[in-house]
Each structure stands twice: as structure tokens, then as C-alpha cells.
Amino acid sequence: MFDMIEIEKRVLLAKNDLTRVRTFLDRNASKQDSFKRFTLVNVPNSDFTQDPENAIDLKIRTSGEEALLTLKKGNWHKDTAREEYEVRFETSQIAELLNILVALGKRFFVAIYVFRSKYRYRDFIITIDTFLLMEANVLEIEIVKQKTGTTHEAETELRDCLSELELSPMDSDQTKAFIARQNTIAQCQIDFHSVEISKWCLDWRDFIRCIK
């Protein structure tokens, strides 16, 4: 995706909201896919905390044999649009990519594993992620626009859609708290100066290929 702005809202779903929203989407939206997805999120600090001032959100995502390196530029916890860039590669190349990133100083990562349900509702992509390494369900609604376009109308449409679903997006503090909880799971914290990349890829191969 080249020269694009991603506009998205995220909602941490309570159990009763999860059931209600799934029922609504199954009845009114077009379900596009369901799949497991593995993500490595780069974090800047050795204690695996995220920096609220960090404007670069770097991730590796895999789903089976397909993989994606994504970079989102902009504030990750506030209600603002972000630029998005991505490069596709094969899952079998993940060790080589990690070696490049570590050589560039990107050594700390947090692993995330989810079961994702993906819907199209009107002009929006709506996903529901069930986190498999922690107890949480998150809805994300997004639209992608060219950088040259205006975002105000799309922001309004996203909020109207959430109002229709009787949901409120996470604010900055809620987003930071959710990420902090996610990043404290010891099993998911990876320092590639403390573990060999080849060994880690072998130990986590079922997660990486999304067959766990």
C-alpha cells in the first residue's frame, strides 16, 4: 500500500458486546474471512514498554505462508489518521528480515497471536480479534484513503458507524493501558540479543505459520 493514510478506530469488547456485535455483523455485513494471525510488534524499550511519543509503529505479520512488514507513521494511541506502508514477503524469509531489523537496532519485540474475523460493512473493513495469548477481544473499524484526500468526512463516518453499533472507541489512555497489559506477558517478550533468531524461529514455528 503506497502513499496511503489509514483511518481506524479500536474498541475493547466486553463479552456481552462481543456476542451482540457478532450477531449484527453476521446478519448485516459481508463476512470475508476468518483466520489466525501472528504479529511481532517492535518496541523501543528493554522493559517492553511502548513510548507514547514514538511515531513509528513497525510490525511483522504472518498468516500461513504469507507475511507482511508494515510501518505506520503517526501517533499510535491517539484518535488520529496515520500513514501506512507495507512490504509483502514469504513467511520462510522471516529469519532474514529479523536479522536485518536487529542489525538496524530493532531488537525488542512483543508477540501477538489472534483469531481474526473480517467483515465488510458498507465502505468499512471491520475485524474482530480474539487474542489467544491473553484474554481480550478487540474490534477494529478502518478505511484507507489516499494521502491527498481529506480525512474529516471519513472520521465522521467511522464514528457514526460505531454509534450504530452502540460502541465507543478506545481513547488515548485506554489504548496505552491495553498495550501495556499486552506487553507485560513474559511469554510474548522477545529480545533478539538474548535468543538466537534461528532458534526462536524454530521454537515459534507453529505460531509463525499460524497452525498452533
Give pLDDT, residue 83: 84
Which CA distances in Å does 38 have to 133, 199, 212? 11, 17, 10
Give pLDDT, residue 174: 94
Give pLDDT, residue 7: 83
Give pLDDT, residue 76: 83
Question: What's the one-letter identity of residue 5?
Answer: I
Give pLDDT, residue 147: 61
Beta bridge partners, 141, equal 9, 126
pLDDT in tens, 147-206: 655 677 778 889 999 999 999 999 999 999 999 999 999 999 999 999 999 999 999 999
- How many residues belong to the chain? 212
Give pLDDT, residue 116: 97
Phi, psi of 66 (to 5 degrees): -100, 145
Domains, the chain: 4-208 (2.40.320.10)
Contacts 24+ apart (CB under 8 A), 83-86: 83/3, 83/4, 83/5, 83/6, 83/147, 84/1, 84/4, 84/5, 84/6, 84/144, 85/1, 85/2, 85/4, 86/1
Give pLDDT, residue 146: 65
Phi, psi of 87 (to 5 degrees): -135, 130
Residues in the chain predicted with pLDDT less than 50, given as ranges, are 1
